[in-house]
């Protein structure tokens, strides 16, 4: 129980005595029997007296009591761990420092953990959309500064455009890497840029990377360049690639 406020200590005992025994007989009234009170009644009178606000003005607040309970729990936990560790408290401190050093070394060596793709990035979703729809979505995201979504939609527009022009076969479940490799065989002049675009798509979609305006502009420029590819050259390249695939499957 918290200490009584200044000046209250001298009042506690007399007050409790009066509450427990009632008014004392006046001096000179020795003929009258003393007034007595039962144990339960005395306890209740003392409880009521000590519940008065004046005795609790200096009690700790609820927050202070919670902090005290928390630190008591930490102290008990540390004491239990120290008793189970060779060398006591000093041994526990050494173990903790060793664990912290190992974690710091791993963090420095491996860097910030990133979620890795569980599988290859699938390029298209369930609902088929045209190249024009993907381009419109990409430009809308770019206008709002949503570069991740803008890059993703532009890559989809790029590949869908090649499919619409019959430079690639329409195939559900195609990944960005597969699309880039197939398109590179059809349009060898753009092989490196197609591979870089697929890597950008994979990193943004499943690698935890953040796209930038520059990466979106590179993707859009590649899409425009592929759109300007001569149909006649593309047809020849498609024929060559088709013949190559037939030779592989034989």
For the chain, the residue count is 250
What pLDDT sits at residue 123?
64
Q: Whole-model pTM?
A: 0.46
pLDDT for the residue numbered 30: 52
pLDDT value, residue 248: 37
CA distance 159 to 180: 8
* Domain boundary assignment for the chain: 9-55, 62-110, 131-249
All residue ranges of the chain with pLDDT < 70 are 1-36, 55-57, 82, 84-89, 91-92, 109-127, 230-250
pLDDT of residue 32: 57
The end-to-end CA distance of the chain, in Å, is 93
Neighbours of 193 (CB within 10 A): 18
**Cα(250)–Cα(248) distance, integer angstroms:** 6
CB 157 within 8 A of CB 138: yes
Read off the pLDDT of residues 205-214 as tens digits, 9 standing for 90 and up: 888 889 999 9
Q: Estimate the share of the chain in helix, then strand, then coil, as percent rounded to the nearest 5.
A: 65, 0, 30
CA distance 179 to 236: 19
19-29 burial: b if 16+ Cβ within 10 Å, else e? bbeeeeeeeee
Q: Which pLDDT score, from 0 to 100, does residue 139 have?
A: 93
What pLDDT sits at residue 141?
93
Residue with tokens 């859009």: 220
In contact, 211 and 151? CB cutoff 8 Å: yes
64 Rama sector, left if φ>0, alpha if ψ -120 to 50, beta otherwise: alpha
d(CA 30, CA 175): 109
Reading the block at residue 127, the tokens are 């609902």
Residue 24: the pLDDT is 43
Residue 183 contacts residue 159 (beta carbons within 8 Å): yes
């Amino acid at each position: 129980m918290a200490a009584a406020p200044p000046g209250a200590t001298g009042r506690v005992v007399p007050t409790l005595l009066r509450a427990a025994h009632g008014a004392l007989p006046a001096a000179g009234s020795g003929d009258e029997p003393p007034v007595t009170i039962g144990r339960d009644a005395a306890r209740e009178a003392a409880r009521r007296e000590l519940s008065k606000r004046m005795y609790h003005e200096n009690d700790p607040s609820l927050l202070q009591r919670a902090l005290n309970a928390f630190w008591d729990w930490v102290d008990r936990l540390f004491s239990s761990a120290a008793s189970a560790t060779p060398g006591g408290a000093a041994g526990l401190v050494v173990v903790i420092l060793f664990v912290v050093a190992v974690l710091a070394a791993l963090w420095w060596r491996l860097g910030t953990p990133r979620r890795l793709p569980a599988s290859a990035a699938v390029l298209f979703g369930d609902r088929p959309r045209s190249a024009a729809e993907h381009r419109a979505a990409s430009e809308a995201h770019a206008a709002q500064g949503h570069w991740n979504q803008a890059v993703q939609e532009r890559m989809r527009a790029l590949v869908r455009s090649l499919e619409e022009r019959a430079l690639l076969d329409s195939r559900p479940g195609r990944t960005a890497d597969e699309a880039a490799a197939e398109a590179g065989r059809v349009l060898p002049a753009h092989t490196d840029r197609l591979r870089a675009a697929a890597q950008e798509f994979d990193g943004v979609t499943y690698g935890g990377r953040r796209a930038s305006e520059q990466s979106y502009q590179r993707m859009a420029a590649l899409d425009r360049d592929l759109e300007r590819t001569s149909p006649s050259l593309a047809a020849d390249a498609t024929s060559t690639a088709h013949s190559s695939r037939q030779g592989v499957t034989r």
